[in-house]
Amino acid sequence: MSYLMGIDLGTSSVKVIIIDEEGRILARGSEKYPILTPAPGWAEQDPAQWWLATKNAIRKVLKSSDLKKEEIRAIGFSGQMHGTVLLDKFLKPLRPAIIWADARSSPQCAEIRKKLGEERIAEILCNPIMPGFTAPSLLWVKENEPSIFEKVHKVVLPKDYIRLKLTGVLATDFSDASATLLFDVRRRRWSGEIISDLGFQEDFFPEPHESIEMVGEISGEVAKETLLPKGVEIVVGGGDSPVSAVGCGLIKAGMTSVNIGSAGQVFVVLEELKMDPKLRVHTFCHAVPNMWYMQGAILSAGIALDWFIEKLGLKNLLEQAGIDPYSKLIEEASLVPPGSEGLIFLPYLLGERSPHMDPDARGAFLGLNLIHGRAHLIRAVMEGVAFALRDSLEILKELGITVGEIIIRGGGGRIKLWRQIIADVFNCRIMTVAVEEAAFGAALLAGIGAKIYRNFEDAIRKTVRTCLSNEPTSQREIYDRLYMIYKSLYPALREYFHNLASIQRQRIHH
């Protein structure tokens, strides 16, 4: 029996799993690390902490099971997308990584739009220019930290740094590279034209590979540090969104999912490149060769629920009483009528991407009165995330994409109440799979690369199992009414959001 390992370098933790050829999880482990916020709106992480956490998680997994580690055939990768890791000529990080949630580069985004023009952005990049992506983050470093920028030898994405530490090989893949705003998504190659126009060097960026290509193996020194067998082969892997989609079986055109992780996405597979001319949603390369996907993305999904429960003191209060805060509060929210008795939440806590593409958008509760308690607010947060995701679904429909049943993934998808809210807000059947984490998809990529599976279809047929489903109910009618109100709120409040953001920036400056 051959085993496969999947490693997912997420936003808050690294997750490691080992599966057998039939997709059964034999061992799993994780290690957390913090997001650093040296200034408001900034989001950074220390690559050294990623590496330490990855080693610890691998050792934890290997020690927790009685499987023979020598039978691990291959390792696959998934990782948070858009991040910017700057390496010197010794391949050491020059500064903390700037990650996807970072909002500091709004001025650089405006500069890129002006320099490139809408036509080239649409033709080459196929995506809106937004903070947190590699191109504007790198331009921010160039303009604000020139002494660091002049030492840059290579620029890599988060999971590519960890694979470099394991193998000593610099590489990336099409799916992650396509989400940097430096990549020709249509032609699936780095855009030398865009890279040059922004003042970067094309040799900053590693050669892209298909996600199932073998690009290295575990060295002897790393084997000692991680307990992995020397010589285990490693595939290049991909960005967390497409790799997680692979783990849910989303490999054919038209297959659709909704993800409620830290952020949230609505994802649909494309066999031919298609893009939104208004650039309200993203088009990237899939982890499946010669496929693409269209994705609407919101920045605050699970993060919004975490924010409410943790920042308002409910987590500590309930834990001190010996109560699991999430179970307790979601149970309370389930007793509140759909629509939270006229309360709406805008989940723009980190600004927003689809469809507004506005880093200055802000969160808000609308409709509060004396009947509302914490259970109403919790349910309104969950409903607000569902409304924000529906914005993307409506754009896909507008672009002529037919959506049938939808696979739900991410931590939020494991919450029964949230699944039903999504089914009603989207008015479609919501399905789950037995395992929907990105590390599982990463392990399948390793299995395809190692020829354990003949192809993607073979891997999915042998390992992916569909489970529960939630059907829409008559409650969709109240949600339709509330959604019409919800989608009118951002245009009405946009000017106020921008004024508030301006006041916040002035305070920071002084």
Tell me whether residue 360 is one of the annotated catalytic residues: no
DSSP element (H, E) containing 432: strand 430-433
- Cα–Cα distance, 296 to 371 (Å, whole number): 34
Which residues are CB-neighbours of 187 under 8 A, at least 6 positions away?
A: none
Task: Give SS3 for 408.
Answer: strand
Q: Which DSSP string do the residues of 240-305 spell out, in sequence order?
A: HHHHHHHHTT--STT-EEEEESSSEEEEEEESS----TT--SEEEE-SSTT-EEEEEEES-SHHHH
Rounded to 5 degrees, what are φ and ψ at 474?
-65, -15
| Burial tier of 143 (Cβ tally within 10 Å: 0-12, 13-18, 19+) | middle
288: Cα within 13 Å, side-chain hemisphere:
25
Contact of 237 with 78, CB cutoff 8 Å:
yes
Closest alpha carbon to 79 in 38, 33, 123: 33
* DSSP string covering 338-373: TTTTT-EEE--BTBB-TTT-BTT---EEES--TT--
**Crossing angle between the packed helical segments 134-144 and 106-120, to the nearest 10 degrees:** 130
Q: Which of 102, 160, 173, 240 is catalytic?
A: 240
DSSP 8-class letter at 196: H
Instruction: For residue 426, give both structure tokens.
Output: 């989207």
Distance of CA 311 to the CA centre of its chain: 22
CA angle 99, 101, 104 (to 5 degrees): 85
Residues designated catalytic: 240
